[in-house]
Structure formats: C-alpha cells, structure tokens
Structure 1
C-alpha cells in the first residue's frame, strides 16, 4: 500500500500479561486542496489516490462541473504534508474567487470551516437518475465491497466507498481514513474514468451523514447503500433530493428508508 500504511511496534496487554507486537497502522497526512494558488481546504487523509481525491473534492464542493475544468493537476509532497495543486479554466477560476472559503477539517468532519449555517446546508439538486437494483444486490453490497478493501485488511482502521452497477456488482472502490474522503476519491475516480454516477449506487462502509448525501447528490447518483445507519437529517436530505437510501445492508437484509421504487423487489416495513 506504499505510504498509506506503516508498521509500528507496540505492546499487546491482556489479563494474562503483555507481549510485543507489530501492527500495520493507516497513515494520515494533511492534504491541501489548492486552486489557482489559493488553498480552499486542508483535509486529513490517507496519502493514496490523491488525484482522484482532488477531482472528487472539486466536483462535490462545486468548484468544477467536470474534470475538464481543471487545466493542470499536480500532487506535491512536502515535509509537513501534501498539496494537490490545481489550475482552473478562467471561467471556473472567476466563480471560485466569488465564494472565498477556507477550512481545516479533521477526518470526522466534512463541514468544518463553513462560514454560515446556510453554507453548511446548500440546496441539493433533485436526482432523477433511475437505476434499478434487485433486492439481493442491495443486501450483499457491503459484503461484496469487502473484496475491494486491501488497506482495511492490513489495518482494520479505514473506510471504503464503492460504486455498484446493476447486474455487475462493485466495479470500483476507494479507501481512506475519512469516510467522506473515500467518497470524494471514488467520485473523482469515476469522473476520470468517464463513468456516470447516475448509472449505479454508492456503497459505504460508514454511517450515512449529511455530507455523504450532499456529495452523492452533487455527483448525480440516486442510490446510497450503507453498512450502518443514516442520521435523521441525512434521511430528510435524501428524501428531498429523491435519493434511495438503504442502510444496515449486511448479509441478507437491509433497511430501506426513501424512494423504494429503485429496489425492484420492494421494501420490508421496519417499525
């Protein structure tokens, strides 16, 4: 996994004593998202798939509308962190200057640094994509994603986001110490590969929080499947954005909370 993980010694302590162990730990490093010489965000992230991360972040933060809006992208490594340096097309550069924003976000926070409450919850586009999934595809989605998590297999400490296509299963995935970073990396990878997010579903190892719904809606994807629960606010946003939200997808079951028509076998009522 290159620089995304490091082996470190430790002491395993239990009721029967202590022993020396070596564990593989996930690395995290500051990654500065810089556009036209101005740093828009510094995120703590896994130092892997950073071109995907940069493009995905730019898309979900509405800095760009398509990868071609970035004229140059360079990832630079320094002693204290990494810079994803992007130069934008002139029209996008002008729009960026009109919405100055700076944030310093820890891995658990996708909204740090927003300068107003309105900025934290911008209106989301209604997603009119209509992929259809069989019930068993949704139920096994997070189990299928496990095959695409080599960094998690090493460290047991990172999240993943995968893209599932009807009839094909998971076709792409990305990992990161931050759940929203993993989703940004996936969205960027899809854009760079020319794969339309409207054709499938985002599959998450994490809970479904507000920013996960926001990023999915901005990408134009209509379905979220997650291993854990949604927050109540995230569910309201998903419902308003016409996104199908399936949670607790493990083994042979899942909970379905919004816009069930995209799951062809229907939904089981959950009290």
Structure 2
C-alpha cells in the first residue's frame, strides 16, 4: 500500500521511445514546515511529511538548539497548516549571532548556510575505532537501496540509514538529503541509541554539510553510493570520520581514515 504522505499519484503523458501514453505516476510529496521555537520563527524547511517529530528533534539537535530531549518543554505539530511549535525549558531568545532565520531547501548546493558558530559547538570528533569490512560496506549499501521502495516508486527521494557493522537498524527517506539524516538523528535521540560504534549509509553526495551532520550524530563511518567533496574530506580528516564513497556493485573508494576498513589495515 502506498503512503500518501510520501507520494501523490498524478496522471502524466509518457513517451517510451515509440509511443505516447497517458499513465499514472507516483510523484514525491513536497511539504513546507515552519518551526517556531519559544514563539519565534526559526526555520522553514521543505520536506517529505513523514516522521516529522523525528525530523524536528534531529534538526534542532544538529543546529545546536538542544542537546537532549529533556530540554524540550512542549512539542506540537499542526500538520494541516504546516507549523511546528517547540517550547524549550530555557525561555531565552535564540542567539541570532549563531543562528539565523533561514529557508532550508530540499535542493543541493546553497540550500543551507554553512559555518555557523553552532557547527563548531556541536560537531564531534569521533575517537571510536570500530572496524568494518569491505563486504560489509557493500552489503549495507545494497540493503539500504533494496529497502528504499519509496525511491523506486518516485525516483525523487534521498535515503539515510543507521547501521551496525552487520545490519541496517533504521532507514528514513526524504526529498531533502539533510532531512533524511535529521530523521535518523531524531530516531536516535528518541530511542537513546549509542552512536559511536554505528555506521551511516547514505544515498547522496557527501558534501561538507552532510559530513558535519554525520559528525553531530556521532557516527564514525559514512557510506555512500556517490562522491564526496574536497571540503567534506578535509572535515572528515579533522573530525576522525571514515568516508567511503562510490559503493557500486563490488567496488568502493575509501577517502579518509582507512584504519577502520579491515582489509586495508590487516
């Protein structure tokens, strides 16, 4: 059964190389959500309207607004209007020097502002030396992709998954790749999951923003079917994160901290 919050069905015209057909197609659902913190508008993000509570909690934690869930006094989502209201136990106004009201887009590139003070405060250097094999990297990426039924239906979603060395624990999808990671982060906060020995599998490019978010989550290894950027790799070196990209078929590239990959260090 299709999740109507993830996708909508639309009648389209398709050319298949030989003929023109009218067909029904599944389109990824795009939903604007405005978050108010202590009565102040903090951000509007464009997202897939699933696991919204996880998304908001993960987003606020990655932005440095909260560190623990018990800092939240009340939490309300008005999904019909696209508003979320978060009241913190600390009623002071947000520090506008380190945060700005901004539009968080679902696209790549300049969809998020970078190098706010909160990034320096919330990014974690990963010291855990959990190792993973090449075969495990390939298997985790394959499992995430095979489980991504919403992507196969729409072609318009990113996926992020929290994994152990052997298994995929939880996977989340969203039109925004940052949002997918925030949903995973929110799940971890809700379930008090220890993260230092965990792995993030990811469907998109490893940008500096994605790398910082993985650092804030606290995972030491990120796997992707796509490429990294130079700044992401510089940050990964500094923050102790192993980045593995271009995981396709039985091939992959290890870019930083290869000591966590068993075949390389054994």
174 and 110 in structure 1: CA distance in 2 versus 1, 3 angstrom threshold: farther
* Structure 2: runs of 5+ lacking an equivalent: none
2:178 aligns with one of 177, 180, 186: 180
Does 2:121 match 1:119? no
Partner of 1:50: 52
Cα RMSD, aligned residues only: 2.2
197 and 7 in structure 1: CA distance in 2 versus 1, 3 angstrom threshold: same
Deviation at 1:220, TM superposition (A): 1.4
Correspondences of 1:197-236 after superposition (within 5 Å): 197-236=195-234
Paired residues of 1:77 and 1:83 also in contact (CA < 8 A): yes
CA distance in 2, matches of 1:25, 1:102: 29
- Aligned pair count reads 261
* Structure 1: runs of 5+ lacking an equivalent: none
SS of corresponding position for 2:171: strand
Does 2:49 match 1:60? no
Partner of 1:133: 132
* TM-score of the pair, normalised by structure 2: 0.91
5 and 262 in structure 1: CA distance in 2 versus 1, 3 angstrom threshold: same
Partner of 2:32: 30
CA distance in 2, matches of 1:258, 1:56: 26
Paired residues of 2:75 and 2:85 also in contact (CA < 8 A): yes
* TM-score of the pair, normalised by structure 1: 0.89
Partner of 2:152: 153
Partner of 1:238: 236
Paired residues of 1:53 and 1:185 also in contact (CA < 8 A): yes
Paired residues of 1:35 and 1:86 also in contact (CA < 8 A): yes
